[in-house]
Each structure stands twice: as structure tokens, then as C-alpha cells.
Amino acid sequence: DPFAGDPPRHPGLRVNSQKPFNAEPPAELLTESFLTPNELFFTRNHLPVPAVEPGSYRLRVEGPGGRGLSLSLSELRSRFPKHEVTATLQCAGNRRTEMSLVRPVKGLAWDIGAIGTARWGGARLRDVLLHAGFEERREGEWHVCFEGLDVDAGGAPYGASIPYGRAVSPLADVLLAYEMNGQELPRDHGFPLRVVVPGVVGARSVKWLRRVAVSPTESPSHWQQNDYKGFSPCVDWDTVDYRTAPAIQELPVQSAITHPRPGAAVPADELTVKGYAWSGGGREVVRVDVSLDGGRTWQVARLTGERPVPGRAWAWALWELQVPVPAGAAELEIVCKAVDGSYNVQPDTVAPIWNLRGVLSNAWHRVRVTVSR
Ligand code: MTE
Ligand code: MO
């Protein structure tokens, strides 16, 4: 069993697949704290968790002109200033179950919990690239490619890439992280070293990082080339051509209701609605609207948590609304939708954004509850 060496996990997680391990926290726990506890942070593994001996671990960085660097963990910690960033990671497949209600899609059945926020600590990727001899600016199109220590049956590693400009930008805060919420990176989250690309789909934040290389083309990995791309609802498995769509990088604006849960019985007097909201590319959430009547009338929720730097809002906003329950209502359809700093909004329904892989599922989140009498 190639998964026999996987680490122990928190029993409270909702498991989507055991081998490889994919799990999310129960939605109501997700917004209990601004930083998601490490043991409750969703896990998205494509392959078995590699066993890494920290003493002999080396990160390989391919430098310009065929020169290369090999860095131990203690070199990564001592040669580069430690930088900390609070950033949300979201899987492209978060909220996929809602998309599969429209029509079946291929992929793990994530509810709303394939998202989490942590304070990541590590070396800036920028500092490591400059140390390896790269310049701040490079003419033409370049990508920074990452490889993990997890390899498939054919020996191909998990891999992904981001544009060079993001990798070297001091404002983009891309990290080679060895800490998560002040602790050593847990094995499921990439021990001993992972990439964290704030504002970008989780798939690019490569765990168990073994190699960094600069290339004129994107990562050749399956997950960069033939997965994690969005398509029109008219594209099916007979017509899909992965070369025609760009790889997902920055994610669109998103929000979801974590409390109450679908089917719950809520009190007849007053109701507290809670949830999260986030947008890609560092775009801050400027507003969350909540409806109790399926979207006919709206109220503005109160944003809680840390105030972001506009344009570098890497972490989610949590939000809350206390509302009187409309007199006589027996059922409520609670809806939320977020607005980001570019005034991007979420689509109201799922069908027009349906796609065969069930990615980018960010329609208004709807939760039906009954009112207890
Ligand atoms: N890195 C490696 N090496 N192997 C993986 O399977 N999964 C990716 C990314 N990095 C993956 C990886 C995907 S799709 C996501 S959403 C995030 O890791 C999830 O990070 P987490 O498990 O720490 O939440
Ligand atoms: Mo993902």
C-alpha cells in the first residue's frame, strides 16, 4: 500500500477520499477562528504523502545559464529573512457539489470547506531566485516551475507553475514556507517546505517542494496542462481541448454561508448568519450582502477579522449578520454574495458557469432552513 506511510489525521474531518487523502472541515467549524487550525485545514493530496528526512532534505533551484543551487532547510532558514504572510488557500474545486447538482462533473465532491487561512512563514521565493542569480526583470515570457517530492506511478512529480513576474514581485508575497500558524509545516500540508502563492488557486502552491526552475513555458505537469482550467458549459468530454483555455491562476470572488447549515431549524425570533468571503489576486472583499428570501431583498453583513491592505488582501474576510426572522415565515432561503475591490460580483446561479471539471464554482451560496415554531 503506497499510502501506508500517510500521517494520522483529525477524526473530525469530512473525508472525500482516503487514498489519496482529501478532506475538509465541517463548515460550521470553518469560521470559528480567522486562522484555520492546522489539523482542521482542508487537505488536497493527489498522491501518497512523501516521507522526508529533514536533515538530508535539499531544495534544488536551477539558476540561469545552467548553474544550480542546492539548499538545505537550515540554509533556507538562515540565509534568507523569514517572511510571514496571512493567506487563504482555496482549491479550484471548492463547492463542486453544487455544480454537480446541475449536471454531473468529474472531481472530488467538495462542499464549502476546501478553503482555509493560515499564517505562513518562510523565505520569499523572490529572495531565493535573486540569490540563484536571476534578475528582477526578464525580457519575454517566463514561468517559475515547481516540482513536489510526490510522484505518480510513472515517476512524474506533482508540478505547477506561476508567471515569473509574480514569483519575483516584492508585492506578491510568494513564499517557500516552512511554517504554518507558527508550527512546523504538517506532513499533509507539505513538510518540510511548500510554495504558498497568495491570491492564486491552491493547485499552484506546490507541497513537499523538491525543485524550482525558470522556463519559457509553463510546467509540463498534467495539473498545469490538462487540469485546473475553466470551460464553457457547452464543452463536454468529447469536445474538450485543454490547449484552448488558460491555466487557472487568480481565483474569482467567492463567499459562502457556514452557519446555519442546510436543513437546520432556526429560531423564530432572531437569526445569526455567518460565513466567509474571499477574492483572488489580493482583491479585498469590500461588502457581503445577505438575503433571507432567496435574493429578493438584501442586508449588508458586518465584516469581522483583520483589515486588509487593498490590493494585497490575501486572507479571507469573515462576516456575520444578526437579523430578525420575518414574522410568519416557515422557511427561509438564505443567500450570500460578496463584492471585491474591483466591484467583481458572484454569478447568481450555477448553470451558466457549469463546467465539466466542476471548478470555479462561485455562484451565490444558498442555504434553505426551516423556522421552528
Ligand atoms: N502539491 C503537491 N506536491 N501535491 C499535491 O497533490 N495539491 C495541490 C496543492 N499542492 C498538491 C500540491 C492542490 S490541488 C491544492 S488545492 C493545495 O495543494 C492544497 O493544499 P493543502 O492540502 O495544504 O490544503
Ligand atoms: Mo486543488
Is a pLDDT exceeding 90 seen at residue 275?
Answer: yes
Residue 6 falls within a domain, yes or no? Answer: no
Instruction: Give the pLDDT band (50/70/90) at residue 111.
Output: very high
Mean pLDDT within 167-175: 98
pLDDT higher than 90, residue 133:
yes
CATH of the domain at 293: 2.60.40.650
Which atom of ligand 1 lies nearest, measured to the CA of 41?
24
Same domain, 326 and 217: no
Domain boundary among 244, 263, 284: 244
148 lines ligand 1 (CB under 6 A): yes
Whether ipTM exceeds 0.95: yes
Q: Output the CA 308–ligand 1 centroid distance in Å.
A: 25
Cα 276 to middle of ligand 1, angstroms: 21
Say whether both 221 and 83 belong to one domain.
Answer: yes
Looking at the structure, tell me whether residues 218 and 72 fall in a common domain: yes
Distance CA 373, CA 120 (A): 46
Is 116 contained in some domain? yes
Distance 205 CA to ligand 1 centre (A): 6
pLDDT at 307 exceeding the cut of 90: no
263 and 133 inside one domain: no
Q: Which atom of ligand 1 is nearest to the CA of 148?
A: 3
Distances (CA, A) of 60 to 73, 78, 159, 160, 369: 11, 17, 14, 15, 52
Same domain, 177 and 293: no
Q: Within a domain: residue 2? A: no
Q: What percent of the chain has pLDDT over 70?
A: 100
What's the average model confidence in pLDDT over 26-35? 96
Domain finish residue from 195, 218, 244: 244
Q: How many domains are contained in the chain? A: 2
Our answer on whether the CB atom of 202 is closer than 6 Å to any ligand 1 atom is yes
Task: Report how far ligand 1's centroid is from the alpha carbon of 188 (Å).
Answer: 9
* Per-residue pLDDT reduced to its tens digit, 36-84: 999 999 999 999 999 999 999 999 999 899 999 999 999 999 999 999 9
Rounded to whole angstroms, the Cα distance separating 198 from 359 reads 18
9 in a structural domain? no
Question: Same structural domain for residues 183 and 260?
Answer: no
Shared domain for 109 and 191, answered yes or no, is yes
Residue 4 lies in a domain: no
Closest ligand 1 atom number to CA of residue 45:
6
Give residue 42 CA to ligand 2 midpoint distance, Å. Answer: 10
Q: What mean pLDDT is reported for the chain?
A: 97
Atom nearest to 223 CA in ligand 1: 14
Please give the average per-residue pLDDT across 122-144, as a whole number.
Answer: 97
- Domain hosting 93: range is 14-244
In terms of domains, do 63 and 192 share one? yes
366 and 288 together in one domain: yes
In this structure, the answer to whether residues 90 and 236 fall within a common structural domain is yes
First and final CA of the chain: distance in angstroms?
Answer: 53
Q: Is residue 165, in this structure, part of any structural domain at all? A: yes
Q: Is the pLDDT assigned to residue 305 strictly greater than 90? A: no
Find the radius of gyration of the CA atoms of the chain.
Answer: 21
291 lines ligand 1 (CB under 6 A): no
Question: Do 33 and 131 fall within a single domain?
Answer: yes
pLDDT (tens digit per residue) in 202-219: 999 999 999 999 999 999
Q: What would the grid cell of residue 109 be?
A: 465532491
- Same domain (yes/no): 128, 260: no
Determine the pLDDT at residue 373: 81
* Local confidence band at 352 (pLDDT 50, 70, 90 cut-offs): very high
228 lines ligand 1 (CB under 6 A): no
